[in-house]
Amino acid sequence: MTVSQTTVSQTNDCAQAIAHDIAIVGGGFAGAVTALRLVEASTAPLDLVIVEPAARLARGIAYATDEPDHTVNGLAAGFILRAGGSPQLFLDWLRAEAEAGRWNPPAGDIAHTSPPRALYGAYAERELARAVRGTQGRVRLVHRRDRAVDLDGHALTLASGATLAARQVVLATGLHRRAPALAAGLADHPAYVGDIFALNAFESAGDAAHVLLLGSGLSMLDAVVSLEKCGFRGHYTVVSRRGLVVAPRREVAPWPGTPEAAELPREAGAVLSWIRRERRAVAAAGQDWQGLPPLFRQLAAPIWAGLDNRAREKLLRRLLPFWNLAMHRAAAPSYAFFARAQAAGRVRSLAGTLSRLDTAGSGLRATLRPKGGGVPLHIDADLVVSTLGFEFDWTRIDDPLVRSLLRRGLAVPHPVGVGVRADPTTQALIDIEGRISDTLFAVGHPLRGELFEASSLNEQIHQATRLAGILAARLAPSAAASPARQVA
C-alpha cells in the first residue's frame, strides 16, 4: 500500500500555486527518509510536499525494481531507518511479508538473508505513512506526481506547468544515469539497452549470443541477473576503464586498524599510503581484506573534511574506482548469477574505453581503445547494455532542474568535479555569490563533493536526520529568521 493511498493526498492539479512549509524534490530513498525524519523531528504543524513523478515513494532507481533477485547489498540485519537504531522492526516486517506469501525467503534466519530491494523500499514507504498517521493530522504530506524543472526564489515550476511555493526546498534528486555519448544516436536501436530497469528491456535476450556490458559495477550485476532470468545463455564481454569487476560481499570481522589509522592524513598521498599500510597489515595478519571497509568508512568523513579541494580532486581521480568496488560490494544471491556464468566460461573482462559504437547487421559494433594503448579492438554484439552507473558531475547532468539551478547561480558545481558546493554542517547550498542559502538544502548525492560518501543508506539516513533537526527547529513557532551568510 502506498503512502499516497493511506495518508497523503496525491495531485496533478495545474491550476494554482500551493504554499507548503517544505518541498522535497525527489521521492526516492533519500527524499522519503528525509520526509520521515522531518515528521518525527517536528513538533509544530507541518505542511510537507514531495515532488516525485513515480507512483511509489522511497523507490528511486535502486528500489523500484520488481526483480526479486535484485537484492540489497548486505544482510537484512544491517538495514535500518534510524541512525544507530535497531533492525528489529524491519526484520519483523520481513517475517510478516514472508508469512503473507509476498516473499519466499531462503532457509535460515531472515536476519542473515539479503531480501529484494523492492521490499526495503516498500518498508521505508510504509514507515513514512505510519509516521504521518501517528501525528493525528498535525502533519500534512502531499505526494505531488510531477517533476520539478525550475526554482525561482520559493517557487518551484513543475513539468506540468504548475507552480508550488515552499518556505524551504530540499534537493533529494537522487541518481542521474550516465550514458556513453557515442550511443546518443542509437538510443532507440533494438540492440542497445540504455535503461536496464525499463519494462521488457531484455525481452529479446534469449535469442542473443553475445552481450557487451559497458561498465563493471553493481549496475552490471543487475543487468546480468535480469539477462540470465530472461533466458540468455550466451557470452558476456564486460568493459571498464581499469578492468575491475564488482566483488562479492563476504561477512567478516571488521579490521580494527593499526595505530597509524588514528592519525588522520591531511593530503592525498598520505591517504593513499595509509590505505596501503592497512592492506599490508591485513594481509600480514592473514585476514580478509573485506574487514577493511568498515574502518575506511568510519574515517572517510573526518579525513575528507581535513583535505583541501586540490587534495580531494586528486584522491577522487586516483582512488574512487577502487573505493566504489571495495565499499559497494554485491550480496551473495545476486552475485551468484554472475559467478555461475564465469564458472561456465561465459564471461571475459576487458580494460579499455569505448571510442566508437556503430550498427553492424542487426547488432552493434563497439570499438574499444585498450588501457595503456595498442591496436583498437572491435567487438560485435547482439546487445550492448549501458551499465556505466551514474553521473555526479553537475556540469554533465542532462536534467532541467539541474540546468536551471546552475543557470540561476543557486547551485555551483563543486570544485572537485562531483556534486555542488554546500555548507557541510547544515547541508545548505552555497550560491554563485558565496552565500549560504536559508531556503535551499540537499541530502544525498548532491553533497558528494562536500561529504565524499553519499551513496550508502547509512550516510543518507545520517544526512536526513541532521537536516530534519535543522529544518524542524526553523519551523518551530519560536524560531527566528536568520540572514543569509557568506563564505569565501
pLDDT confidence bin for 11, thresholds 50/70/90: low
User: Grid coordinates representing 429?
Assistant: 547550498
pLDDT confidence bin for 29, thresholds 50/70/90: very high
**Domain enclosing residue 378, as ranges:** 181-247+330-386
Q: Do 268 and 341 reside in the same domain of the chain?
A: no
The pLDDT value given to residue 262: 67
Mean pLDDT of the chain: 89
Task: Look up residue 217 and give its amino acid.
Answer: G
* Domain end marker among 350, 368, 386: 386
Q: Do 40 and 126 reside in the same domain of the chain?
A: yes
- What is the Cα–Cα distance from 467 to 35, expressed in whole angstroms? 10
CA atoms within 13 A on the CB side of 209: 5
State the DSSP code for 274: H
CB atoms within 10 A of CB 332: 16
Average pLDDT over residues 52-70: 92
Give 66-82 pLDDT, tens digit per residue: 899 999 988 998 888 87
* DSSP for 224-254, written as a single string: HHHHHHTT--SEEEEEESS---PPBP---PP
Kindly report the pTM of this predicted structure.
0.90
Give 325-342 pLDDT, tens digit per residue: 888 899 999 999 999 999
Average pLDDT over residues 254-282: 88
CATH number at residue 161: 3.50.50.60
* Domain end marker among 339, 363, 386: 386
Q: Is residue 132 part of a domain?
A: yes
Q: Do 375 and 311 reside in the same domain of the chain?
A: no
The pLDDT value given to residue 119: 94
- What is the Cα–Cα distance from 319 to 296, expressed in whole angstroms? 12
Checking if the pLDDT of 480 tops 60, the result is no
Whole-number percent of the chain with pLDDT over 70: 92
Q: How many domains does the chain have?
A: 3
Q: Is residue 78 part of a domain?
A: no
HEC profile of 326-359 = HHCCECHHHHHHHHHHHHCCCEEEEEEEEEEEEE
The pLDDT value given to residue 161: 95
CB atoms within 10 A of CB 283: 11
